[in-house]
Amino acid sequence: MGVVNVTPDSFSDGGVNFDPERAAETAGRMLDDGAAIVDIGGESTRPGAGPVSADEELRRVVPVLERLEGQVPVSIDTSKAEVASRALELGAELVNDVTALRGDPGLAGVVAEHGAYLCLMHMLGEPRTMQRDPRYDDVVADVKRFLQERLAAAVEAGIAEDRICLDPGIGFGKTVEHNFELVRRLDELAALGRPILVGFSRKSSLGKLLGDPEATTGTTAASVGAAVAAYERGATILRVHDVRDHVEALTAAAAVLG
Ligand code: HH2
Q: What is the tens place of the pLDDT at every residue in 55-102? A: 999 999 999 999 998 899 999 999 999 999 999 999 999 999 999 999
C-alpha 226: how far from chain center: 15
149, 152, 103, 146: which is closest to 126 by C-alpha? 103
**Quick one: pLDDT at residue 48?**
86
Residue 136 predicted with pLDDT over 90: yes
Radius of gyration of the chain (CA): 17
Ligand 1 atom nearest to 45, measured from its CA = 20
Q: What count of residues does the chain have? A: 258
247 DSSP 8-state letter: H
The pLDDT tens digits for 205-240 are 999 999 999 999 999 999 999 999 999 999 999 999
How far are the Cα atoms of 40, 71, 168, 188, 192 from residue 234, in angstroms, in the given order?
Answer: 24, 29, 12, 9, 11
Q: What is residue 72's predicted lDDT score, i.e. its pLDDT?
A: 95
Q: What percent of the chain has pLDDT over 90?
A: 90
Average pLDDT, the chain: 97
The stretch 105-133 carries a mean pLDDT of 95
Does residue 239 carry a catalytic annotation? yes
pLDDT of residue 11: 86
pLDDT value at residue 78: 98
Cα 199 to middle of ligand 1, angstroms: 7
Best residue among 57, 217, 239 to mutate for probing ligand 1, ranked by most atoms within 8 Å of CB? 239
Measured between alpha carbons, how far is 227 from 206 in angstroms, rounded to an integer? 11
Which residues lie below 8 Å from residue 156, measured CB to CB, with a gap of 6+? none
